[in-house]
Structure 1
Amino acid sequence: MIDFCVDESACIQCGECAKDCVMGIISMDNGVPEVPAAKEAQCIGCQHCMVVCPTGAVSILGKKPEDSLEIAGNLPTADEVEMLLKSRRSVRRYRQENVDRAVLARLMDVARNAPTGKNAMNLQFTVVDDMATMQAIREATYAGIDELSKGSGLPAGFEFFGTTAKLWNTRKVDILFRGAPHLLWVTAPADSAAPEADPMIALSYFEVMAAALGLGTVWCGFAKWAFTQVLPEMKGRLGVPENHTAGYAIMFGYPDVQYCRTVQRGDQKLHTVSF
């Protein structure tokens, strides 16, 4: 049951919910919107019917419109969004302290609102929320790399990981994790509709919101490779399901650096299609 409910005293019979239904299962045949029982299974749970209703007459899946955030008057300006995006930097210097729990909870709530293919909402957000735990993962990763280097050898193409372990062991230089106190690894079931794209979209939401909250981030391919290619046993140790793709990881925390202006990017190729 999708619990599609209409407050007929508030409904103005505009039909917006039916027009915007992704699956086209909302009927206006009887004046007010309804979903035939035989079509309920086709609902993908996008909630568009609820959020497009101008009078807040539609509820679905136990969700009520009054519990949603109102959009009108609450959006940032284009200039504010542009500045946020252009001022964001890859941070590789972090303060050694945990991110406030309330800040982290808000950040994760926004990230988990990211869209997914077919509205599957089946991503796993694996977060290291305590710097002591992150330090234990760091130590275990470098120890595992060091053991491989001295034993059976590192996987082909990943021999350079041996240098990262040497730098950590001799100078405590953390190339892999950039000294960050926290990590987020987002993965998706391999059989989902968009297993490669969905984690990237979610991490992009995370990155932008993190910047708005004053946090630093850096996309971390080294962590992804370490946990999936060099030391694949780490995937299970961190609680990521075996049937999930490698996804991607971001390191984050309070930055120990302050940037004063935006960089001046070189133009990337823009191709306008003529057909």
Structure 2
Amino acid sequence: MKNKHIIRINPETCIGCGLCKRDCPAGNIQIENKKAKILTQSCIMCGHCVAICPKAAVTMTGFDEPPIEIGKPATLNPQELLAALRTRRSIRQFTKQQVEPELIAQIIEAGRLTPTGKNAQDVSYIVLQDGINRFEQPAVRLFRRILPLMKLVSPVAKRTVIDEHFFFKKAPAAIAIVSRDQINGALAAADMALMAESCGLGVLYSGFFSMAANHSRSLRRMLGLKRGEKVVMTLVLGYSGVTYHRTAQKEAASVRHFHFKMSK
């Protein structure tokens, strides 16, 4: 985490119920004299103690926003979610309509709210809109150099033409998701893609641009990537210029079930 945070428990409002102690994944809370007590500030700062306290006795400093009170928990309709997942497609044809700044902000917010391992909150975002082609060109040059080698091992590469819009497909925007941890960045990318589609946008996961960004020195400098940082995924965004009339077929899931019977 970038900022320093301090956990505080107000002894006047704490009722010593122990909910925070039982829910703390770091084992960092104990009950003394019927009051909760933080053992150390060396903690993952996950905020479970803040969220679960029925009396709002636990607080954390160093954040730009206060916790939001939860009335009725938000739920997703499972059938509607499955329908959205079933009909989503990678979009490679976009209209010229620009993506509104408020939609970009919503998509990034979805990434920000995505959980990270050990609550690292180590994911950042690079928005490419104005002059987006300027970032595409170094990637094009890199892939044109390695394409002859790829053609030796890949039948698909033999049919590939790397034109000036190979990575972004003339889309008006892209967001590079940056993290030192591959899983944290990938989780954020998945939630961001869902948010983009819920906003009516088409999405393309550009693994090729992510690869280029991580291996091209000039592109890394342009993107301001620091040592150890990597572009985990790049979401290419825009309004879809194509309509799909039916779903794509998927193979059946490969599932293994294990059932263990307890001996009497």
**TM-score between the two structures when normalised by the length of structure 2:** 0.81
Q: 1:56-86 CA distances to partner (integer Å, 9 max, x unpaired)?
A: 3321134599632526243222223323322
Q: 1:95-133 CA distances to partner (integer Å, 9 max, x unpaired)?
A: 2232111121121012122222211112232221x2x32
**Aligned match of 2:117:** 117
SS of the equivalent of 1:104 reads helix
> What displacement does 1:161 show?
9.7
**Aligned match of 2:67:** 67
Considering fraction of residues, name the structure with more strand: 2
Tell me the distance in 2 between the aligned counterparts of 1:200 and 1:91: 19
**TM-score between the two structures when normalised by the length of structure 1:** 0.78
Does the Cα contact within 8 Å between 2:95 and 2:238 map onto a contact in 1? yes
**Aligned match of 2:242:** 257
* Partner AA of 1:45 in structure 2: M
Instruction: Extract unaligned runs of 5+ from structure 1.
Output: 169-173, 190-194
* Partner AA of 1:218 in structure 2: L
1:51–1:227 CA distance, 2 compared to 1 (3 A): same
SS of the equivalent of 1:200 reads helix
1:46–1:73 CA distance, 2 compared to 1 (3 A): closer
User: In the alignment, which of 252, 255, 259 is matched to residue 267 of structure 1?
Assistant: 252
Tell me the distance in 2 between the aligned counterparts of 1:264 and 1:100: 33
Tell me the distance in 1 between the aligned counterparts of 2:88 and 2:172: 19
Tell me the distance in 2 between the aligned counterparts of 1:87 and 1:2: 42
Tell me the distance in 2 between the aligned counterparts of 1:91 and 1:179: 11
SS of the equivalent of 1:17 reads helix
Tell me the distance in 2 between the aligned counterparts of 1:71 and 1:79: 24
SS of the equivalent of 2:203 reads strand
**Aligned match of 1:19:** 22
**Aligned match of 2:131:** 133
Q: 1:176-229 CA distances to partner (integer Å, 9 max, x unpaired)?
A: 22222222222322xxxxx22111111011111111111111111221232234
Q: How does 1:112-261 map to 2 (within 5 A)?
A: 112-128=112-128, 130=129, 132-143=130-141, 145=143, 148=145, 156-157=149-150, 160=157, 164-165=161-162, 167-168=163-164, 174-189=165-180, 195-229=181-215, 231-260=216-245
Residues paired across the two proteins, number: 253
1:182–1:27 CA distance, 2 compared to 1 (3 A): same
> What displacement does 1:35 show?
0.8
Does the Cα contact within 8 Å between 2:138 and 2:218 map onto a contact in 1? no
1:234–1:66 CA distance, 2 compared to 1 (3 A): closer
* Partner AA of 2:30 in structure 1: S
Q: CA RMSD in A?
A: 3.0
Of residues 17-26 and 245-254 in structure 1, the stretch that sits farther from structure 2 once superposed is 245-254
**Aligned match of 2:41:** 40
Identity of aligned residues (%): 24
Does the Cα contact within 8 Å between 1:90 and 1:216 map onto a contact in 2? yes
Does the Cα contact within 8 Å between 1:11 and 1:32 map onto a contact in 2? yes
> What displacement does 1:49 show?
0.6
* Partner AA of 1:179 in structure 2: K
**Aligned match of 2:53:** 53
Does the Cα contact within 8 Å between 2:6 and 2:60 map onto a contact in 1? yes
1:241–1:2 CA distance, 2 compared to 1 (3 A): closer
Tell me the distance in 1 between the aligned counterparts of 2:81 and 2:70: 19
Does the Cα contact within 8 Å between 1:185 and 1:248 map onto a contact in 2? yes
* Partner AA of 1:182 in structure 2: A
Tell me the distance in 2 between the aligned counterparts of 1:221 and 1:61: 38
